[in-house]
Structure 1
Amino acid sequence: MHRLLVALLAALDAAVAAIVGLAAVLVPLLLMWVFTFGGVADWQGLWPATVRIWQLGNLVPLALTLHDDFLVETGLPEGAGSFVLSLAPLAFAVLVAVFAARSGRRALGSGRWLTGVAAGTATTALAALIANVTADNPVAAVDPWLAVLLPTLVYAVPMLLGAVTGAWSEGDEGLVDRLHDLADRLPSGWRELPALVARGGGITLAGVIGFAALAIAVAVPLRGGEVIALYEASQVDLLGAILLTLAQLAYLPTMIGWAVAWMAGPGFALGAGTGVTPVATQLGMLPGVPMLGLLPENGSPLLLLSVLAPVVAGALAGWGVRTAFRAEARAEGADHEPVAPRAFLAAGIAVIAGAGAALIAALTSGSIGPDRLAHVGPEPGAVALAVGLEVLLGAATLLLAPRSYTSRLDRLASGWADEDADHARTH
């Protein structure tokens, strides 16, 4: 495909991603204005608010300055008038990342993925610049450089990863293929390791995030009464309840990140001097946000069993990678599985899992208010260490186990698959 056409298509993808993100904020705000105030919308207020929320969703910190009259009406202390809001509603960034990764794969299919990534990055930077320049807001201020840089990175990094991972598996007749050739020159038993480590790390992170999402799903019926009580205490009307729910859904990925830290053991903070861990929960005064009703009131030593979730995720990754490693060895005519490469695989999977957990913790940490509320979320270093060690235990158990043990697991899984196939044929 011609280079110019690839650039135009990638630019169109990036522009659509920016427009959809802004529209996802603008439409609810517009409906709120129409149903609350009626008449013509005040675009001088709606557009800046839309852009600031979109920027926060793309990891841009907001410096808020509240008017003195507002502080008096709400009963807030004078010192609460200025603070930084940096805890991002990650649903925006997650959706952008998924869209960008798919765009990167499409650019790869065109044979000009570097051109596509460059065009998508430049378009996102331009969209972020235009949005920021047109959204002067006396209440919420941003650093102009961060307002352009961070939304651009949120789009560019997943797009680049989508293109590179696709190029590694499918080939690109370029830089990635040359790197692949270098890996193929490694000794037998080692050349498959880069791809297997990446696969195992991906399986582990997907498993840990899945267990965290399951923990939140279980908490909904168990703690639903507290959530409903907080909704009632907010005293909002139907429209307000809908908007409040949408805002909380935007923070759902953030809650999942907190659940990852909680399962791993270190937990997370909701203000200076607080902590929510499986063993204990220590909270002070919190904002009356209904979704915070899902937090456990007390810890318990039994809840420490939650640390088994990363161990299980690591074991599943170790099993899958061990099976693939064995298949590669057989394809090359080897009748044994060297220990050193398997140990390297276990360590590599743990490192990727720990790094991913640190990134999740960093993205789900920030500030939501002044004073003690300036420290919210998990500590990246502690979460990375805990997840890395727990995943290492699970992955090493399956990767370094005797061959006969993993072979029995393979036969068991194969038996389940055969039974499912027979059941499907009979029905």
Structure 2
Amino acid sequence: MAVVIRMTARRPSLPSRRPSLSPLLGRVRDRSPGLAASLAAGALAAGLGLAAFAVLVIALWVSSPYPDSGPGGAVHVAAALWLLAHGVELVRTDTLSALPAPVGVTPLLLPALPALLVYRGTRDAVDAPDGDGAGAPPPVRARTAWTGVVVGYLGVGGCAALYASGGELRPQWPWVAVCLPLLAAAAAGAGVWTAYGRPREPLLSLVLVLPGSVRRLLLGRDSRVRWGTAVRASLAGTAVFFGGGTLLLAASLVGHGDAARSSFLQLTAGWSGRCTVLFLCVALIPNAAVWSASYAAGPGFALGAGHLVNPLASDPAPQLPPFPLLAAVPQHGPGTPLNWLAGAVPVTAGVTVAWFVAARAAKRSWPAGRTAGVAALAALLCALLLAALAELAGGPLGVAALTRFGPVWWQTGMAAGGWLLAVGVPGALGLQAWRREGAASLAAWLGFAPGKPGEGRTADNHNHKRKHKQRPDQKPKPRKQRKQGRRTPSHKAPPPPASVSPRAPASVSPPAQVVVVGLRPDQGDGDASERYEALPAEPREVLPGDPLTGLWEDEAARRARWTARRKLYGPAAEDTDAP
């Protein structure tokens, strides 16, 4: 018993002999609930993306009447498509020439799913509860949530890339090392930034890395307003380019409907194969819209090395497999006026950019130089966005002639920027003048009407003053008298009723008079307090047995009543019954 008591007494002194944990391990232990939730969120996002692609591929494989491989091959294809959705270039080993052929055209509709999953996973990881679970948990630190989601996502993505390396579509590891972390980091960063309320500090910290001259140029006067206007205008211009390209694609498909339908039916005879082709066409519609936008801008796109298609001319394309979207390509030969109508797309985009910039410039009263600078900045941002989309929409589809398939990114960007500068900058200045000065001043500024800019607004601002201003030698015009509020009574007053009693006692006061507000005819438009006066009441009808009969015909009351009427209406108010 003594030994047990002695050992129990010595136990509190044992932990003091151990070395304490380092501060770094303590911080990691404190953050472990948030970090663990972030890792789980990233892994879950990658797993859900893989599962979605696997369900689609396995469903098409099951419904296919002639499957080429077993379930393992279908899962390998699903993992390869998931990597292709991140922009990873694949290599197809099973070819007729026994040479590996690259597959680098990423359907732009596929990256939306993994990016959305990572974005939502990061937002959920920021709000993950801590270990104690008491009350509302504080948000996880931004760095912890971002790191956990990206690491968890890349862990599952690396395993998927290793698994896909054993199939017919194998990923190229340099592209895996670049594209997979890039998409995960960008989507996770957007999720953290949104979860914290979109603060400005991270964006400003990126600007501080730039040189001083560039930083002063970017962070000048009204920098937030200028950059916000340029970003909105560039997004609007990009949307117009994309929408115009979609319209051109639809019009071309309608014009080449027979060729598109025959190519769709020629590819496969089974319903599962046709569903696969239809799914691939839908996933490639954004790519075809970007190709059409590049076609409208001028450079066009390439259907193989050295085979360009643009509004001015179309080179004969090499032997391509039948595909519905390729059937919409214009026929080879010189361009026609119908092809030149595609130039309306960049013109509309330039007008849209000018409209957005001019609206803010007129509201903020910017000078012409600042308006032109914001319009040029919007054109530059829109050109960069279109160049990036053109690079993502194209790529190799084989060797030899198919090493280049799609638009050239730098040509598309330069052409779009040139269109926007040529249309957007003058358009923004003209629309600003229109909004500031009005249509008449703009016509005068352009030389279509006499006058100088600013006269329209000046005349509008001083119209009220000019209307009431008089020359010194000009006599003031007499004001018109207003209509009388009360109609002038006739010369003769109505006789008293016949049922009146002869007299009433003189000591009794007349009945209470009804106050009637009326306009005196001799006062015109004078002071409002002097134009109105209390008028006597109209003679009321007296009935037999009325207790006020004698009071109404009192002599003193009748004299006072007619004296007040003479004062009000002058000598014209005569009465035969007046005393």
What is the CA-CA distance between 1:215 and the residue it aligns to? 2.0
CA distance in 2, matches of 1:149, 1:29: 26
Which residue of structure 2 lines up, in the alignment, with residue 365 of structure 1? 394
SS at match of 2:58: helix
CA distance in 2, matches of 1:179, 1:138: 42
Which structure 2 residues correspond to residues 24-423 of structure 1 after superposition, within 5 A? Answer: 24-36=52-64, 42-66=70-94, 71=96, 78=97, 81-100=99-118, 112-161=141-190, 170-171=198-199, 174-176=201-203, 188-282=221-315, 283-298=317-332, 299-327=335-363, 329=364, 336-401=365-430, 403-407=432-436
What is the CA-CA distance between 1:262 and the residue it aligns to? 0.9
Contact 2:118–2:188 (8 Å) recurs in 1: yes
1:289 maps to amino acid: F
What is the CA-CA distance between 1:117 and the residue it aligns to? 3.0
Contact 1:204–1:353 (8 Å) recurs in 2: yes
CA distance in 2, matches of 1:192, 1:313: 21
Deviations 1:244-276 (A, max 9, x none): 111222222221221121111100011112122
Q: Per the alignment, do residues 324 and 101 of structure 1 end up closer, same or farther by CA in structure 2, a change over 3 Å counting?
A: farther
Higher relative contact order (CA 8 A, sep 6+): 1
2:145 maps to amino acid: G
Deviations 1:270-293 (A, max 9, x none): 111212212222212111122211
Bigger Cα Rg: 2
Which residue of structure 1 lines up, in the alignment, with residue 566 of structure 2? none
Q: Which moved more, 1:397-406 or 1:385-394?
A: 397-406
CA distance in 1, matches of 2:191, 2:372: 28
Q: Per the alignment, do residues 35 and 111 of structure 1 end up closer, same or farther by CA in structure 2, a change over 3 Å counting?
A: closer
CA distance in 2, matches of 1:163, 1:392: 35
2:244 maps to amino acid: F
Q: Which moved more, 1:49-58 or 1:20-29?
A: 20-29
1:307 maps to amino acid: G
Contact 2:318–2:401 (8 Å) recurs in 1: no
2:383 maps to amino acid: G
SS at match of 1:154: helix
CA distance in 1, matches of 2:395, 2:93: 17
Deviations 1:197-234 (A, max 9, x none): 22222221122112212222333322221111102222
Contact 1:200–1:317 (8 Å) recurs in 2: yes
SS at match of 1:290: coil
Contact 1:125–1:148 (8 Å) recurs in 2: no
Contact 1:398–1:406 (8 Å) recurs in 2: no
What is the CA-CA distance between 1:161 and the residue it aligns to? 4.8
CA distance in 2, matches of 1:128, 1:202: 31
What is the CA-CA distance between 1:128 and the residue it aligns to? 1.1
CA distance in 2, matches of 1:108, 1:322: 39
SS at match of 1:202: helix
Q: Per the alignment, do residues 317 and 6 of structure 1 end up closer, same or farther by CA in structure 2, a change over 3 Å counting?
A: farther
Return 5+ residue gaps in structure 1 as ranges.
Answer: 72-77, 330-335, 410-427
What is the CA-CA distance between 1:3 and the residue it aligns to? 6.9
Q: Per the alignment, do residues 11 and 211 of structure 1 end up closer, same or farther by CA in structure 2, a change over 3 Å counting?
A: farther
What is the CA-CA distance between 1:348 and the residue it aligns to? 0.7
Q: CA RMSD in A?
A: 3.4
Q: Per the alignment, do residues 310 and 38 of structure 1 end up closer, same or farther by CA in structure 2, a change over 3 Å counting?
A: closer
Contact 2:382–2:417 (8 Å) recurs in 1: yes
1:287 maps to amino acid: P
Deviations 1:291-318 (A, max 9, x none): 2112222532442232231232232122
CA distance in 2, matches of 1:249, 1:382: 26
Contact 1:315–1:397 (8 Å) recurs in 2: no
CA distance in 1, matches of 2:77, 2:293: 31
Whose helix proportion is higher, 1 or 2? 1
Q: Per the alignment, do residues 337 and 255 of structure 1 end up closer, same or farther by CA in structure 2, a change over 3 Å counting?
A: same
Contact 2:353–2:424 (8 Å) recurs in 1: yes
CA distance in 2, matches of 1:314, 1:107: 41
Contact 1:347–1:392 (8 Å) recurs in 2: yes
1:160 maps to amino acid: G
